[in-house]
């Protein structure tokens, strides 16, 4: 069953965090799915930031947590707003409209799976941090997990390695 134009656009969900890897993945998604079709958009863009909980971020409990958690919450909220702002700037620079920009608290694996289902995404785009095998075992790879569990195509974008002579911001 073919659909025409804007009555039923396919959805691209892009998972973002506060890393250059995820912003590169967003730019790549825009270049591949949106820029070539500016006159007649074929896709709807949904940007999702999975904000960690303060307790999962800290990993502490006890009386000292009562003092620290509100400060961490404030910092995580500030980071989430900066991520949304940066995504809006990236999209605006390429004249692409964000259909939905979401910040949801929780584990990124679950947040992205739920976003894919909720928006009926046809593609999930994620950046790869490029961790080695040992680091992936200990930290867990969100992109690897989602590649195996998401019910849509998953595009994992690797950021090109910087040349040793360049001065790159970290």
3-state secondary structure the chain: CCCCHHHCCEEEEEEECCCHHHHHHHHHHHHHHHHHHCCCCCEEEEEEEEECCHHHHHCCCCHHHHHHHHHHHHHHHHHHHHHHHHHHHHHHHCCCCCCEEEEEECCHHHHHHHHHHHHCCCEEEEEECCCCHHHHHHHCCHHHHHHHHCCCEEEEEECCCCCCCCCCCC
Which pLDDT score, from 0 to 100, does residue 101 have? Answer: 97
- The one-digit pLDDT tens for each residue of the chain (170 residues) are 344 444 568 999 999 999 999 999 999 999 999 987 777 889 999 999 999 888 776 665 666 777 788 888 999 999 999 999 999 999 999 999 999 999 999 999 999 999 999 999 999 999 987 665 555 555 568 888 999 999 999 999 998 877 655 454 44
Which pLDDT score, from 0 to 100, does residue 34 have? Answer: 92
């Amino acid at each position: 069953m073919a659909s025409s134009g804007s009555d039923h656009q396919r959805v691209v969900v892009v998972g973002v965090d506060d890393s250059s890897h995820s912003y590169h993945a967003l730019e790549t998604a825009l270049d591949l799915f949106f820029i070539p079709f500016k006159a007649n958009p074929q896709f709807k863009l949904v940007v999702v930031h999975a904000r960690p909980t303060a307790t999962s971020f800290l990993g502490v409990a006890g009386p000292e947590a009562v003092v620290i958690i509100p400060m961490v919450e404030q910092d995580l909220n500030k980071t989430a707003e900066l991520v949304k702002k940066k995504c809006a700037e990236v999209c605006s620079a390429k004249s692409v409209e964000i259909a939905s920009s979401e910040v949801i608290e929780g584990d990124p694996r679950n947040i992205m799976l739920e976003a894919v289902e909720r928006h009926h995404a046809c593609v999930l785009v994620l950046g790869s941090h490029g961790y080695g095998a040992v680091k992936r075992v200990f930290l867990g790879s969100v992109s690897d997990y989602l590649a195996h569990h998401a019910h849509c195509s998953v595009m994992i974008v690797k950021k090109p390695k910087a040349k040793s002579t360049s001065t790159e911001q970290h």
